[in-house]
Chains A and B, each alone.
Chain A
Amino acid sequence: MLNHCFLCRNEDLKEMLESSKESLKLEAMKRIVGLIAKGKNASELFPAVVKNVASKNIELKKLVYVYLVRYAEEQQDLALLSISTFQRALKDPNQLIRASALRVLSSIRVPIIVPIMMLSIKEASTDLSPYVRKTAAHAIQKLYSLDPDQKEHLIEVIEKLLKDKSTLVAGSVVMAFEEVCPDRIDLIHKNYRKLCNLLVDVEEWGQVVIIHMLTRYARTQFVSPWREDAVFDENSEKAFYDSEEERRVDQSKPYIMDPDHRLLLRNTKPLLQSRNTAVVMAVSQLYWHLAPKHELSIITKSLVRLLRSHREVQYIVLQNIATMSIQRKGMFEPFMKSFYVRSTDATHIKTLKLEILTNLANEANISTILREFQTYVKSQDKAFAAATIQAIGRCATNISEVTDTCLNGLVLLLSNRDETVVAESVVVIKKLLQTQPSQHSDIIKHMAKLFDNITVSMARASILWLMGEYCEHVPKIAPDVLRKMAKTFTSEEDIVKLQTVNLAAKLYLTNSKQTKLLTQYILNLGKYDQSYDIRDRTRFIRQLIVPNEKSGALSKYARRILMAPKPAPVLQSAFKDRDRFQLGTLSHSLNSQANGYLELSDWPAVAPDQSVRIVEVVEPAGAPVFGKSKPGKSDEKFYSDSEEEEEEEEEGSSSEDSSSSSSSEESESESESEENSDDSNKSSSSQSDSEKKKKTLKNKKLQQQKPDSKDRYWSHAVTKFFLMHIVLSFSNQFVANCRCSLLCLYVFLVCQFDTVSWHVRVSLQASSPVFVPETSRELLHRMTGKGLSAQYRFTRQPCIYGNSMVSLQLTLSNSSDQALENIHISEKSSTGRDIHRFNASGGLRPQASVTVSMGVDFNDSTQAANFQLCTKEDEFSVSIQPAVGELLLPITMSEADFTKEQTILSLCSEIVVFPLN
């Protein structure tokens, strides 16, 4: 009957779906979604629902999607009807429609459409919209779970998407990477620095995934910063440079952190301030697993802050703190009071706090902690009170000063009214007594007296064991206890029975006169016990202690076996072995390996090749700015600016910054700015060219990083520095935005006098030019050049040919009607300027043009460089006169740094400071 009703209603829904009225259809879909939510089966409506997949009504369409994704797996054939709609939508000009089509298409778990999915993913991964690419990254995981055979193809897509520079994509593709090919660490190398730099701007969920992945990556690529002999001290700049100098001088190789390692630590640190608890935890575990020990303390505050959050968050955070506090007490000791238990905490929170307090206990604070524990013992929550007693026991064994105090306190608890408290005390006292039994026979006697009133089996068993073990200390009481046990033996719990048998055996060996009969009686009872454990034990004990002809040599040693001195148990934290798991993971939380847990590898003894992370070729500015966001373009521009600022400031503030990592940052932001300015006319060759320059520059900087003892630095540099700063107003918009954010982008241009090297202070990082003019100036007119014309422009890139050179781009074109052969710069240049000539180009066909790059050392003067431009037949004198700005190197520094430099430099007569305005 009910079934019938249900069918009726479904009929009714079917009718509504087939009606022509949108509102009826929508109503029907809403009711169907209600059914799905309740977990009712609505699969038979599939044909009626799937017809509406192409509906114009957005809400209706969305609800149909919900239905489709839920039931497609069950109704595979019918689901295929909808595929063409999605395929069409994948070509829609609107990115959001493309994305949602891919989302639903990839969620339909029908194996037959795997090839279609694969194709769509590949296509979407090159989509212009980052949002669609993000969806593609999600789809990768879906397809992988549907058909793991596609792995190889999917890895290709992942590789492509990993190169993506959009913050939208980063989190999702790393997620796909983790799921599909977490072992392909080689795919990360080239993207490592980019991911580090993008991290702050990725959405919070992506941050968590990326941080976890980078933690694993770093453990395979860098050497351990925890070396015993590491004299490395981050806080003192001096030590850093000394150590580096040392390396150069005597090759003794003290530990020096890989700049990439440092980059990761530096870029994750601000995320400790995230509102998302998962992000904070992720950064904390990253620091725990990767940072030098002395830097760990910065995570403490943030972790303690998380304790203010929801109960479940507290639970996980406390678990992690418990593991940390075993290894490093000092980290959390100042925050001990944050772990004080409140009566309103849930029991598992209380127990964890107790665990941490116990871990933190030391000679200095033990009295405070014990006083706190005293209140806990009285708690109404008896499970918690019992746990407190355990904790007191642990404190007592760990800190010998308080053992006696604790023991006395526990004995007092034996008269507590609550049974669980008494039982727990007995168990703990038993463990404590084992360490020093002889002094405490009165406690054992006291416990024997309590024995009749205790019903908790664990406690009874503990007392029996104590009696047996130390029967020599209580020779009169022990046989009496055994007598009582013989009476109640049958009604005891197994654990108590086992200990009774033990007690009997031990007494038999030490005091057989009094206990022989009792023992035999108990052994007989044990022989017919229901539990075979006890029957086994009885049989074993009988053979061991009662001499007969069958018992072998062993019974001679019975006394030595049973009465052997037993080592005292070590009371240790339940979190002791949890550090085998990466912190913050599910496995750590459960203390057992979860599915898909990825082991954190040990540090390599020798760091693998660092150069793998150097990015050689930046992809042409293919990752586009999407057209849709045109109205919001000003914000975008603004935002990317502030991003740059952030990076710059960071560079300025972190004094131990090493230039190679930062230069990679620059190349990153630079390539982004290239993207933004959208230089379509830049040929890709010139780009890779400039890229090469950057790379060499980077290497040079590495070589030239000089010790930064201040005196030496200034003696070299003061006279050679020529510092000026110029604010470039790129556009009004930018200036306005600068004002908004009140953070100006300072562009400092430093000109170098010295030809040997540039003494760049670590805080002064050459940054990328923010604006490169496209206009070229004429070098040689085609009339004077007999058909050969030449134009030059300053690329404002560091010159690859020499530090002191300025790089130039020369465009040679042939406007004559004959080919020009062997165009080159003559060997003798008239002004004695050092010129790096371009390679003599073979020939220039009529109407063709070629772009070459060259370097000129202007010797820091604005005097023109004169030289001869030669062809096979002719020689033309030309000259290049640089504007002063072209001789300068852009430097970014914080305002504070700038003022500092300015005051120092103002003492020097050669300095010209261009005021900001």
Chain B
Amino acid sequence: MIHSLFLVNASGDIFLEKHWKSVVSRSVCDYFFEALERATEPENVPPVIPTPHHYLINVLRHRIYFVAVIQSEVPPLFVIEFLHRVVDTFQDYFGVCTEAAIKDNVVVVYELLEEMLDNGFPLATESNILKELIKPPTILRTVVNTITGSTNVGEQLPTGQLSVVPWRRTGVKYTNNEAYFDVIEEIDAIIDKSGSTITAEIQGVIDACVKLTGMPDLTLSFMNPRLLDDVSFHPCVRFKRWEAERILSFIPPDGNFRLLSYHVSSQNLVAIPVYVKHNISFREGSSQGRFELTLGPKQTMGKAVESVLVSSQLPRGVLNANLNPSQGTYTFDPVTKLLSWDVGKINPQKLPSLKGSMSLQAGASKPDENPTINIQFKIQQLAISGLKVNRLDMYGEKYKPFKGIKYMTKAGKFQVRT
């Protein structure tokens, strides 16, 4: 399966290599570098690259390419999914997944990679098991380790790997028992020039942070489970129970995990919480263009729209933009032609706007397309689909846990065509 792994940074240097079978020379990455050179954008590197003797499958996360070397037929998603798991694990361990963090923790990285694959086949990928095997580095532990000479490697042998609930470690103890669930919904939408919705859908996830002693067995039920059209579960969720009763019943992993992701059925009309009024125009023969943008709240169920960020890739002919925001700050990068406007909170009484002019390259003809506007926003305490958690119960343990549910709506891929 996975033969070797190379980590390549944005400037094209290999800064880490790991082999699970016999060593593959790093020159195999030359094919990858070729593809990298050909690609106009970092994202445009094809995920699967054939070479005469190997196949390279890469993923790009946090501006690092994770290049896996394959020698024979294997489902490509298998490798891609695994590589993303690796990145998630690094992020989980080091907080960030950057070149610096990986270099600083190279021993832990190596130990992790060693445990995650055996002979190229995934062995332990559950975060709970890995944390039993290799303790994540903390500042305190690093200090203690250097003084006492003790180690990151767990002294106990991991039992989770052997249990029938492999995602949960055994012997968990907390003084404060708490279980928090975040219902986060994202709106993906394409709005056309005239402001009508071309496509809009809601995708949601329930992220959990569960710190409960022992082996709790939780059930979570919804007021309106019919809203959920398509769901995917963490392995801990009992599928049959969901099928029969639409109740989530599970023994949770310890710590943070994604319990569920769902798609709200497309029959339901999606409420679009913001609208954009825009007037972006270039006149023929003039080196000036007009730019006007106004944002306003639409269907927000009385909640405030916060952390609004507008970004747009302006046409290549634009040299500079001279704009005036009514609130927030804007930046324009003349090299990448990326305009971004950090709006903040939308005040319904005084709508935020960004107005001004763009200067075009002299002599260049008028760009024939208008830029697309991408919008990000957040609305606290609202699940835009109307999904509501009914109750959360715990069985199997005696204590009373603190429970909390939080709702949030965010923009996913929210685009306005102009």
Q: Is the CB of B163 within 8 A of A311?
A: no
Q: Is the CB of A645 within 8 A of B159?
A: no
In the complex, chain B residues 43-90 whose Cβ is within 8 Å of any chain A Cβ? 43-44, 46-48, 50, 55, 57-61, 70-78, 80-82, 84
Residues of A with C-beta under 8 A to B215: 635
Residues of B with C-beta under 8 A to A135: 118
Complex CA gap A203/B229 in Å reads 25
From known contacts A208-B78, A639-B164, A894-B244, infer whether A273 and B233 are also in contact, taking CB-CB under 8 Å.
yes
Q: Is the CB of A585 within 8 A of B110?
A: no
In the complex, chain B residues 396-418 whose Cβ is within 8 Å of any chain A Cβ? 396, 413, 415, 417
Cross-interface CB contact of A142 among B50, B119, B190, B230, cutoff 8 Å:
B119
Q: Is the CB of A344 within 8 A of B374?
A: yes
Q: Is B261 an interface residue (CB 8 A)?
A: yes
Residues of A with C-beta under 8 A to B161: 96, 131
From known contacts A281-B77, A741-B238, infer whether A37 and B17 are also in contact, taking CB-CB under 8 Å.
yes
Q: Is the CB of A585 within 8 A of B238?
A: no
Complex CA gap A689/B181 in Å reads 52
Complex CA gap A139/B84 in Å reads 26
Q: Is the CB of B190 within 8 A of A597?
A: no
Residues of B with C-beta under 8 A to A590: 48, 50, 55
Residues of A with C-beta under 8 A to B164: 632, 635-636, 639-640
Residues of B with C-beta under 8 A to A33: 106-107, 110
Complex CA gap A910/B188 in Å reads 61
Q: Is the CB of A378 within 8 A of B75?
A: no
Q: Is B344 an interface residue (CB 8 A)?
A: no
From known contacts A138-B119, A311-B60, A649-B240, infer whether A626 and B80 are also in contact, taking CB-CB under 8 Å.
no
Q: Is A66 an interface residue (CB 8 A)?
A: yes
Complex CA gap A347/B44 in Å reads 6
Q: Is the CB of A310 within 8 A of B59?
A: yes
Write the nearest CB–CB distance from B27 to chain A, whole angstroms.
11
Q: Is A59 an interface residue (CB 8 A)?
A: yes
Q: Is the CB of B44 within 8 A of A280?
A: no
Q: Is the CB of A301 within 8 A of B151?
A: no
Residues of A with C-beta under 8 A to B220: none
Q: From B316, which residue of chain A is reached at the shortest CB distance?
A: A380
Q: Is A348 an interface residue (CB 8 A)?
A: yes
Q: Is B225 an interface residue (CB 8 A)?
A: no
From known contacts A281-B77, A586-B70, infer whether A312 and B365 are also in contact, taking CB-CB under 8 Å.
no
Q: Is the CB of A596 within 8 A of B72?
A: yes
Residues of B with C-beta under 8 A to A347: 40-41, 44
Complex CA gap A331/B253 in Å reads 36
Q: Is B23 an interface residue (CB 8 A)?
A: yes
Q: Is B34 an interface residue (CB 8 A)?
A: no
Residues of B with C-beta under 8 A to A725: none
Q: From A63, which residue of chain B is reached at the shortest CB distance?
A: B107
Cross-interface CB contact of A584 among B75, B152, B155, cutoff 8 Å:
B75
Q: Is the CB of B77 within 8 A of A37?
A: no
Complex CA gap A397/B371 in Å reads 31
Cross-interface CB contact of B241 among A57, A60, A589, A743, cutoff 8 Å:
A743
Residues of B with C-beta under 8 A to A342: 190, 372, 413, 415
Q: Is A94 an interface residue (CB 8 A)?
A: yes
In the complex, chain A residues 401-426 whose Cβ is within 8 Å of any chain B Cβ? 416-418
User: What does the 1/0 interface line of A96-115 toward B look like (CB < 8 Å)?
Assistant: 11000001001101000000
Q: Is B149 an interface residue (CB 8 A)?
A: yes
Q: From B244, which residue of chain A is reached at the shortest CB distance?
A: A649
Q: Is A565 an interface residue (CB 8 A)?
A: no
Write the nearest CB–CB distance from B317 to chain A, whole angstroms.
10
Complex CA gap A85/B116 in Å reads 24
Q: Is the CB of A316 within 8 A of B235?
A: no
Q: Is B165 an interface residue (CB 8 A)?
A: yes
Residues of B with C-beta under 8 A to A310: 59, 61, 80, 84
From known contacts A37-B106, A342-B190, A586-B74, infer whether A59 and B152 are also in contact, taking CB-CB under 8 Å.
yes
Q: Is B114 an interface residue (CB 8 A)?
A: yes
Residues of A with C-beta under 8 A to B165: 635, 639
Q: From B47, which residue of chain A is reached at the shortest CB distance?
A: A312
Residues of A with C-beta under 8 A to B155: 58
Q: Is A795 an interface residue (CB 8 A)?
A: no
Complex CA gap A894/B241 in Å reads 12
Q: Is B131 an interface residue (CB 8 A)?
A: no
Residues of A with C-beta under 8 A to B261: 275, 305, 308
User: What does the 1/0 interface line of B102-141 toward A look like (CB < 8 Å)?
Assistant: 0000110111001000110111010000000000000000
Q: Is the CB of A313 within 8 A of B80?
A: yes
Complex CA gap A138/B233 in Å reads 28
Q: Is B22 an interface residue (CB 8 A)?
A: yes
Q: Is the CB of A57 within 8 A of B151?
A: yes
Selecting from A22-30, A185-193, A508-516, A658-666, the interface stretch reads A22-30
Q: Is the CB of B77 within 8 A of A313?
A: yes
From known contacts A95-B162, A313-B80, infer whether A378 and B238 are also in contact, taking CB-CB under 8 Å.
no
How many residues in A have their beta carbons less than 8 Å from beta carbons of B? Answer: 118
Complex CA gap A831/B374 in Å reads 88
Q: Is the CB of A596 within 8 A of B59?
A: no
Cross-interface CB contact of A594 among B73, B118, B415, cutoff 8 Å:
B73
Q: Is the CB of A273 within 8 A of B231?
A: yes
Complex CA gap A585/B78 in Å reads 10
From known contacts A275-B234, A310-B59, A642-B238, infer whether A417 and B22 are also in contact, taking CB-CB under 8 Å.
no
Q: Is A546 an interface residue (CB 8 A)?
A: no
Complex CA gap A130/B241 in Å reads 28
Q: From B158, which residue of chain A is reached at the shortest CB distance?
A: A96
Q: Is A73 an interface residue (CB 8 A)?
A: yes
Residues of A with C-beta under 8 A to B213: none
From known contacts A305-B263, A640-B164, infer whether A316 and B159 are also in contact, taking CB-CB under 8 Å.
no
Residues of A with C-beta under 8 A to B61: 310
Cross-interface CB contact of A58 among B153, B159, B415, cutoff 8 Å:
B153
User: What does the 1/0 interface line of A61-80 toward B look like (CB < 8 Å)?
Assistant: 01101100010010000000
User: What does the 1/0 interface line of B307-321 toward A look like (CB < 8 Å)?
Assistant: 000000101100000
Complex CA gap A406/B111 in Å reads 59
Q: Is A346 an interface residue (CB 8 A)?
A: yes
Write the nearest CB–CB distance from A210 to chain B, whole angstroms.
12
Q: Is A771 an interface residue (CB 8 A)?
A: no
In the complex, chain B residues 359-412 whose Cβ is within 8 Å of any chain A Cβ? 365, 368-369, 371-372, 374, 395-396
From known contacts A34-B106, A635-B215, A649-B244, infer whether A343 and B313 are also in contact, taking CB-CB under 8 Å.
yes
From known contacts A37-B106, A380-B316, A645-B240, infer whether A589 and B162 are also in contact, taking CB-CB under 8 Å.
no
Q: Is the CB of A380 within 8 A of B313?
A: yes
Q: Is A150 an interface residue (CB 8 A)?
A: no
Cross-interface CB contact of B73 among A131, A587, A632, cutoff 8 Å:
A587
Q: Is B94 an interface residue (CB 8 A)?
A: no
Q: Is B166 an interface residue (CB 8 A)?
A: yes
Cross-interface CB contact of B162 among A375, A379, A626, cutoff 8 Å:
A626
Q: From B238, which residue of chain A is reached at the shortest CB distance?
A: A642
Complex CA gap A65/B43 in Å reads 37
Q: What are 12 contact pairs spanning A and B, CB under 8 A?
A: A38-B16, A63-B111, A96-B157, A205-B78, A205-B122, A274-B235, A316-B76, A343-B313, A595-B73, A597-B72, A649-B240, A742-B241
Binding site for B on A (CB under 8 A): 22-23, 26, 30, 33-34, 36-39, 57-60, 62-63, 65-66, 70, 73, 94-97, 103, 106-107, 109, 129-131, 135, 138-139, 141-142, 145, 168, 172, 175, 200, 203-205, 208, 212, 270, 273-278, 280-282, 301-302, 304-305, 308, 310-313, 315-317, 337-338, 340, 342-344, 346-348, 372, 375, 378-380, 416-418, 584-587, 589-590, 592, 594-598, 626, 628-629, 631-632, 635-636, 639-640, 642, 645-646, 649-650, 653, 739-743, 894
The 9 closest A-B pairs by CB, nearest first: A596-B72, A23-B149, A59-B151, A59-B153, A337-B199, A378-B369, A343-B372, A312-B47, A346-B43
Beyond A278-B77, A635-B163, A650-B240, 17 extra complex contacts between A and B, CB < 8 Å:
A37-B17, A37-B109, A37-B110, A38-B17, A58-B151, A62-B114, A73-B22, A107-B119, A274-B233, A275-B232, A278-B82, A310-B61, A342-B372, A595-B73, A596-B73, A631-B170, A646-B240
